[in-house]
A and B are shown apart, each in its own frame.
Chain A
């Protein structure tokens, strides 16, 4: 029998996510990109606090488990100490856009030559479904039981738009993984983000708009539907910044 699909080498055989969670797809895409670029042996990944907290068990490359929100600072330390390594962070919305906002913004503004994979599913998953910085206006969560009231809880953060304003950001794209076409586009973006780093062109981020079937209380299929109807209008897909053609490959090390 012919093998038509198999686990890529840098994705280890563990199960760290809820059933139906799109994290599984995104994690696999990152692993596939590492293997296709042949960089797994020199890559260091930074796992955050959040749903991907145990990503260190899933990725076959060397891994660090970072304090909540600090992945870009930890990645900076690794990259400065070992500039020949490829360094990426894999962060959720609470990690990246709430507690780690300063670390995210300043790694970008330094043009730190690292790659950030940002999974935005508009909720805190690991702790059980609280409001995230990217939760939508009116969205019901455990800590916004009457819906996110922007007068009291403020507005969602659009990360790609925000980081695109910074001179240090080389590449920022927002993608999703709700169908084959989008999965392929997401993989292409992730690959480009890693290539940006390999070419020493500076800070790259791929925001993946994702789902949380468990805490949204929806089936995986309906969760993608809700994401398309509610999240994509607020977080439009597309390339927000691409200076890869202009940058000279002299990112700080």
Chain B
């Protein structure tokens, strides 16, 4: 096991990617993810890897498409406005069954929005990361350690299921320093990619990486096959932390950095005798429905806490089939909810019981 080191979230993401076999990074500068690209630009030349600053986010994502087609672990990173530009290539990669890693260190939106931490790209990441019928794997770390751990998982599952994976972080996680233990490079298992385009060498028919199916039947068959894979992923790969939910009358649902603050509020509420728990999704797609269904068995009410206008609320309602009220508390980009604010919401929810 490696030693414990202190790292900034953005840099830890980069180092974790390298240790998980990524040697091809294509990026474009944007706050608050720039340290990730800067770290890559420093490390990649020393380990025989590629760091390329592209002319645009569009080009960077398409370079990832090319490198992924050649079978390597490729990645790009950006922040919200830049991710919008990457959605074209993301859709093509979904349609071409290409694995890759995309990091979104979210900032406030819409438009140029702000540069402070936000979670306002939940809808984009989980519902429409590109045009067409598609999903990508979406991971929501809440600490620098978890960012590192989920980078490994994201690459592994992307390769296994042949689809893009996203780390949905935010400016707070990207900028924050925490102690972290990195994996040893030798621990990574790479899968065979017989579909990759690296030249047929006269040994096989030519491989084609393609998302175009002009015959409607063929397109539908391809998409349906892909959705069977998605159904399997939904059954097996959803992840959540259930914190003090066993006896909880009230359940907070929160992810990422925001969930840490919610956790402080849960502790404070417990001290006051309110039975509150926290369900913290680690995967936003697939969404951890089973954890919520289980929590709903005894919880009276749910509260979503997000750094957005409440983009996850409907997913929680759907997961529990609207069997319990689901309310929302949050702020938009840059205003991080405080434990005291969340505690006040919990007390409001618990009414006279608090």
Are A and B interaction partners? yes
Query: B223 contacts the other chain (Cβ, under 8 Å)?
Result: no
Query: A144 contacts the other chain (Cβ, under 8 Å)?
Result: no
**In the complex, what residues of B have CB within 8 A of residue A60's CB?**
206
Bound-state CA distance A111–B52 (Å) is 13
Query: A149 contacts the other chain (Cβ, under 8 Å)?
Result: no
**Best-buried of B24, B66, B74 by chain A (most CB within 10 Å):** B66
Q: How far is the CB of A89 from chain B (nearest CB, A)?
A: 10
Query: A76 contacts the other chain (Cβ, under 8 Å)?
Result: yes
Are A65's CB and B65's CB within 8 A? no
Count of interface residues, chain A, beta-carbon cutoff 8 Å: 36
Q: A74-B69, A77-B70, A81-B24 are in contact. Are A106 and B59 (CB under 8 A)?
A: yes
Q: A41-B199, A70-B62, A77-B74 are in contact. Are A102 and B55 (CB under 8 A)?
A: yes
Query: B96 contacts the other chain (Cβ, under 8 Å)?
Result: yes
Q: How far is the CB of A67 from chain B (nearest CB, A)?
A: 5
Bound-state CA distance A81–B88 (Å) is 21
Residue interface mask A105-127, B partner, CB < 8 A = 1: 11000000000000000000000
Bound-state CA distance A44–B88 (Å) is 22
Are A44's CB and B55's CB within 8 A? no
Select A67's contact among B54, B69, B92, B206, beta carbons within 8 Å.
B92
Are A80's CB and B69's CB within 8 A? no
**Best-buried of B56, B65, B68 by chain A (most CB within 10 Å):** B65
Flag the segment in A51-59, A209-217, A234-242 that touches B: A51-59
Are B24's CB and A85's CB within 8 A? no
Are A81's CB and B201's CB within 8 A? no
Are A74's CB and B200's CB within 8 A? no
Interface residues of B (CB under 8 A from A): 24, 26, 50, 52, 54-56, 58-60, 62-72, 74, 88-89, 92, 96, 197-203, 206-212
Interface residues of A (CB under 8 A from B): 40-44, 46, 53-54, 56-57, 59-67, 70, 73-82, 85-86, 102-103, 105-106
Contacts A78-B197, A81-B24, A103-B59 supplied; 16 other A-B pairs, CB < 8 Å: A40-B200, A53-B212, A62-B198, A63-B207, A65-B210, A65-B211, A70-B62, A73-B59, A73-B65, A74-B63, A74-B69, A77-B26, A80-B24, A81-B70, A85-B70, A102-B59
21 pairs of residues in contact across A and B, judged by CB atoms under 8 Å: A43-B199, A46-B66, A62-B198, A62-B199, A63-B197, A64-B65, A64-B208, A67-B65, A67-B88, A70-B59, A73-B59, A73-B65, A74-B62, A76-B59, A76-B66, A77-B70, A81-B24, A82-B70, A102-B56, A102-B59, A105-B55
